[in-house]
Structure 1
Amino acid sequence: MALQCIVFDCDGVILDSVPVKTRAFARIAAPHGQEAQDRFVMYHTRHGGVSRYKKFQWFYNEVLGREISDEESERLGRLFAEYALDEVRRCPLIPGIQEVLDTWKGKLPLYVCSGAPLEEVQAVLRERNLEQYFVSIHGSPPAKAKLLAQIVAALPMAPEDVLMVGDAPTDHEAAQEVGTLFYGVGPDIKPASESLYPWGTDLTGLNDWIKARAAQ
C-alpha cells in the first residue's frame, strides 16, 4: 500500500477562508438578535463542510422555529456570496499548501472536495490560478461523503491509497465512511490522541508526511 492520490477540502485547507465565512453567517443572523446570531455561528463552526443551504435550513427550523422557503434560501445564498466572496478571492493560503501543490502536481492526481457550491469553488480557484493543480474540482451538492465516494470510485486504486485532507469533522467522517486516509488541519479537527490520525495547526508538515508514504 502506498499513497497514490490526494483530495483536499477547500475552505480552511487550501484557502484561509473559514473566518471570512463565519463573519458572513454572523451578518446573515444579526437581524434576528444576538442570541440567534450566537447560536447560528456556533452551529456553523461545529459543522464545517456542511452546505450553507443546510445551515440556513437548520437556522430557520431550530432558531426561528419555521420552515425556510426555496426563495428565502436562494436569497440568503446570494446574500452570503455578496458578504463573503470578495474576501475569499483575496484571503491568504493556508501555510504549507502551496509547497504541497507545487511538489505533487503531475506526480500524484490531486482533487478538491468542498462543501461549498461547485460553481463558486471552481470560480474562486480559477481566479486565484489554483485550478491548474487539480484533475477536477468537486463541490456541493451532494454532501461531502458522497462527493468523496464519487471521486474515489472513479480511481484505479483502493480507497486506502487515497488521502483526504480536511479541517472539519465532516471531512474526517467522509474519509472514514469511504475508507481513505485522513490528515487533519486546524483547531476544529485536532484529535484527542495522536494515534487517531496525523494533524497539524497548518500544512507546513504535510509535504514531508506525503513524501514518506507516496508511490513515486
Structure 2
Amino acid sequence: MRYKNLIFDFDGVIADSVNVKTEAFRKMYLPFGNEIAGKVVEHHLNNGGMSRFKKFRLYHKEFLNIDLSDEEIKKLSDEFSSIVIQSVIEAPYVKNADKFLIQNKDNFRMWIVSGTPTDEIRIIVSAKNIDLFFQGVYGSPETKDYWTKKIIEDNRLINDETIFIGDAIADYEAAKFCNISFALRESSDNKKLFDGINGIFRFIDFDDLQKFLVDKQ
C-alpha cells in the first residue's frame, strides 16, 4: 500500500496549540466557578475535534442550565477567537512537522480538516506561511465526517491511498466513517482515550510518520 493523500487535523497535530485552546475555555468559564471550569476543560480535552459552537451550547446547557441562541453562541465564539488566534499563529510546530511539510510538498496531496471555524483556520494557516502545502483547508461548522467525505469524493481519491492524521476521537471516527486509514499523533492528553483502539499507527515526532509512510511505499 502506498499512501498518496494525507488529511491532517491542525491543533495538536501540526501546531502544538491544544493547550492554548484549553486555557481559553478555562478562562471563559472561570466566572462560573472553578468546578464548572474544571468540567469544561475535562470535556474539551476528551472531545478534541468537536467544534466550539457545539461545545458552548453543550457546556451552557449541561453545566449551567442555560439554552443559548445562535447569536449568543456566535458572540462566545468571537470572544474565544479573540483570545486564541494570535497565540495559535505563534504556537510552535509539533516536532518536525514543518520539516515534513517542506520535504513532502511534491510527494503527497495534503489537506487540513479542523474543528476550528473555516475562516479562522485559513487565517492561521496563511499566517504561518504553510498554506502552499495544502490542497484545501476546512473547518467548522461542518463536521470532520462531512469534509473528509467531500474531499475524497470531489477529488476522486482512492480510499486505500488516503490516511487521516489526527489526535482526537473525532478524527478517528471521520477516518472510520470514510473507510480510510488513521494515524494518531499521540500525546499525554489523548493516550488514555486511544488505549483500547488497536491497529493504528502512533507517532509523536513527524520523523516517525515520515518513516512509516516511506515504508508503506
Measured against the shorter chain, the TM-score band is: over 0.9
Secondary structure of 2:206's match? coil
Q: Distance in 2 between matches of 1:170 and 1:194?
A: 13
Matched, 1:208 2:211: yes
What aligned pairs does 1:1-216 form with structure 2 within 5 A after superposition?
1-187=1-187, 188-190=189-191, 191-192=194-195, 195-214=198-217
Q: Secondary structure at the match of 1:204?
A: helix
- Deviations along 1:47-90, one digit per CA (max 9) or x if unpaired, are 10110010000011100112111222111111101111121111
Once the two structures are TM-superposed, the CA of residue 94 in structure 1 deviates from its matched residue by: 0.5
The residue identity in structure 1 corresponding to 2:136 is S
TM-score of the two chains, using structure 1 as the length reference: 0.94
Residues paired across the two proteins, number = 214
Change in Cα spacing, 1:77 to 1:195, as seen in structure 2 (3 Å) is closer
Q: Is the 8 A contact 2:118 2:138 kept in 1?
A: yes
Q: Contact 2:13–2:94 at 8 Å: present in 1 too? A: yes
Q: Is the 8 A contact 1:99 1:207 kept in 2?
A: no
Shift of 1:202: 3.6
Amino acid at match of 2:195: A
Letter in 2 for 1:45: L
Kindly provide the amino acid, as one letter, of the partner of residue 199 in structure 1.
R
- Structure 2 spans left out of the alignment, 5+ residues: none
C-alpha contact (below 8 Å) 2:182/2:201 kept by paired residues: yes
Task: Classify 1:199/1:163 alpha carbon distance in 2 versus 1 (closer, same or farther; 3 Å).
Answer: same
TM-score, normalised to structure 2, is 0.93
Most deviating of 102-111 and 185-194: 185-194
Percent identity reads 29
CA RMSD of aligned residues (A): 1.5
Unaligned ranges ≥5, structure 1: none
Q: Are the counterparts in 2 of residues 163 and 182 from structure 1 also a CA contact under 8 Å? A: yes
Displacement after TM superposition at 1:165 (Å): 0.4
Which residue identity lines up with residue 208 of structure 2 in the other structure?
G
1:127 & 1:163 partners in 2: Cα distance? 26
> Are the equivalent residues in 2 in contact too, given 1:96–1:205 (CA < 8 A)?
no
Aligned mates of 2:171, 2:72 — CA distance in 1? 28
Report the more deviating stretch, 188-197 or 139-148: 188-197
Query: Aligned equivalents of 1:8 and 1:94: distance in 2?
Result: 12
Contact 1:182 1:198 in 2 (8 A): yes
Aligned letter for 2:209? L
**1:40/1:195 CA distance change after superposition, 3 Å:** closer
Q: CA deviation at 1:194?
A: 8.3
Task: Give the AA of the match of 2:214.
Answer: K
Amino acid at match of 2:20: V
